[in-house]
Structure 1
Amino acid sequence: MMYLIIAVLCSVAVSVLLKILRQKNIDIRQTIVAGYPVAFLLTWVLLKPDIGAIHALDSAWGIIIALGILLPAVFIILGRAIEAVGMVATDASQRLSLIIPIVAAFLLFGEVLTGTRILGLALGFLALGALVYRPQHNDITRQAKHTPLWLFGVWAGYGIIDILFKQVAKQGAAFPLTLLVSFGVAGVLLLIYLLVTRVRWQKQALMTGLLLGALNMGNIYAYVRAHQVLHDSPSIVFTGMNVGVIAVATLIGVGVFKEQLNRINIIGLVLAVCCVGVLFLA
């Protein structure tokens, strides 16, 4: 259970860090690129990938390159979403991305869509709609207009990444090696982009990247270890992780950062928790 708690706290800590960086006008792209060497090193030390199995990735390089692009991109989108609408709705949208692999399994991979799953998917889409809802005002800002777009980007981005990881695993590539290579590709591609755009480097952004990389890898490692330790109770890990992140993010977002939630948003949070529970039962 300790690993599960660590995974939840690390996941929420990433959102807290990104929110603070946005408030201080620190370039999140630089923080992200500085975090990948740390994540790469920790993956090497903690998960011990089998480099000798690199040949097993031959048929998966297209997917890995896609991950290399999406991993940093979704972090940037996550930061924009947190800035636009706050931690609570953003983390809930990230957790609701689990419905995308389920839809893909039905539409692309021939799995049977049961009544329980249909109910879970319906609750998920209703939750998303409620989370992005904002009362309309005449003086609505440009940032507020883009709120649904950023939340959709978080939801879709994490959902697609989940599908890509599942497809790599099906092709026989070991998860630790896939993660190691994906982190390497993501870091190199983002670094090239920043160099080409001649970004003005910020020391604080780069130093904070060390913490971001550690938190990101801590989340992944603790989640994997939780599944290993509780291998007879995957439901506890699945439900605990998703509901735990939503609950802790809500407590911190509302209690610490004074984020405002309207009644529709609160209903969305309740629907999100119900969605996670129903999809587990499915």
Structure 2
Amino acid sequence: MTYILLAVLFSVAVSVLLKLARRYGIDIVQAVATNYVVAALLAAMLLGATPQAAIEAKATYVPLVLLGILLPAIFVVLARSVRTAGIVRTDVAQRLSLFLSLVAAFVFLGDTLTGMKSLGIALAFAAVLCVLWRRQRDPMDRAGWIAPLAVFAGFGAIDICFKRVAQAGAPFASALLASFLIAMALCWIAVLARAAMRVAPVTLRSLGFGVLLGAANFANILFYVRGHQALPNDPSLVFASMNVGVVVLGTLVGAFGFKERLAAVNWLGIALSIGAITVMATL
């Protein structure tokens, strides 16, 4: 379980870094672009990944391109969400996005809807509503729920894309590296264009922050993969431990480390999210 604990720590560390980015004047686009340089290098070095297997399977083209667009976009949305809605709501929304994959499985992939799957979907849906609820002080300020809702939808779409790539026969490491390379290329085009238009000059501070972000982001993925490799016969235990761990630690860090205010209904949503993850882990 050491690998899972490390994966949880680095997952929450990514949220903490994004929370601190604005405080230190970090350009998030530059940081995300650098993050993918680091993540791609580490994927090649530590996972022995090459993009050929993913590229050779023609059925992977559409989901890989979508991943290349969605992965950097979700980082920008994550940064917005942790800033406006907080670490707690953002991490819970991210983890509950897995229920969208569950819905997609029987809507698009011919899976059968069972009683337990219905219970998991119902709990996850109720948890999302409770966690995202907040008293609106300003009717015009909708970022408090729109940003985490976008995180929820975005990570659900990413998980579905990875499943489609896996169905095409591409190994996970190969698909991961290919999507990182596409995301890296798109991000650096954006960075150079913004610098050329003098919207955001490239700074060493933002690039250095991106190195930290990339290391934490990849460490989260690496230790989660290692957790599955260490417990090959207990994938549900790894799944539940990882997601519940992120919800619990993210709640502690957000509520007590950053003094994020949560109403009783938000705490109920956190409890429901743990129940939903537990149910989904048994499917």
* 1:156 corresponds to 2:153: yes
- Secondary structure of 1:121's counterpart equals helix
State the match for 2:250 in structure 1.
Answer: 249
Q: TM-score, normalised by structure 1?
A: 0.95
Distance apart, 1:50 and its partner CA? 4.4
Q: Which whole-Å CA distance do the structure 1 matches of 2:186 and 2:50 have between them?
A: 23
The one-character-per-residue Cα deviations of 1:11-62 (angstroms, maximum 9, x if unpaired) are: 0000000001123342111111011111011000111124553653333122
State the match for 2:180 in structure 1.
Answer: 183
The one-character-per-residue Cα deviations of 1:208-262 (angstroms, maximum 9, x if unpaired) are: 1111111111111111110011011112101000000001111111111111111
The one-letter code of the counterpart of 1:31 is A
Distance apart, 1:141 and its partner CA? 7.0
Query: Contact conserved, 1:56 with 1:172, CA < 8 A, in 2?
Result: no
State the match for 1:26 in structure 2.
Answer: 26
State the match for 1:276 in structure 2.
Answer: 277
Q: Which whole-Å CA distance do the structure 2 matches of 1:25 and 1:53 have between them?
A: 39
State the match for 1:194 in structure 2.
Answer: 191
State the match for 2:165 in structure 1.
Answer: 168
**Where does structure 1 differ by over 4 angstroms across 4 or more consecutive aligned residues?**
none
Aligned residue pairs total 279
Moved more, 85-94 or 18-27: 18-27
Query: Contact conserved, 1:96 with 1:276, CA < 8 A, in 2?
Result: yes
Query: Contact conserved, 1:12 with 1:245, CA < 8 A, in 2?
Result: yes
Please give the root-mean-square deviation of Cα atoms over the aligned residues, in Å: 1.4
Q: Which whole-Å CA distance do the structure 2 matches of 1:78 and 1:63 have between them?
A: 21
**Structure 2 unaligned spans of 5+:** none
State the match for 2:144 in structure 1.
Answer: 147
Q: TM-score, normalised by structure 2?
A: 0.95
Query: Contact conserved, 1:96 with 1:155, CA < 8 A, in 2?
Result: yes
Q: 1:206 to 1:271 in 2, by over 3 A?
A: same
Q: Which whole-Å CA distance do the structure 2 matches of 1:51 and 1:148 have between them?
A: 37
**Structure 1 unaligned spans of 5+:** none
Query: Contact conserved, 2:63 with 2:161, CA < 8 A, in 1?
Result: yes
Distance apart, 1:65 and its partner CA? 1.0
Query: Contact conserved, 1:121 with 1:275, CA < 8 A, in 2?
Result: yes
- Secondary structure of 2:22's counterpart equals helix
Query: Contact conserved, 2:55 with 2:61, CA < 8 A, in 1?
Result: no
State the match for 1:106 in structure 2.
Answer: 106
Query: Contact conserved, 1:7 with 1:222, CA < 8 A, in 2?
Result: yes
Query: Contact conserved, 2:165 with 2:175, CA < 8 A, in 1?
Result: yes
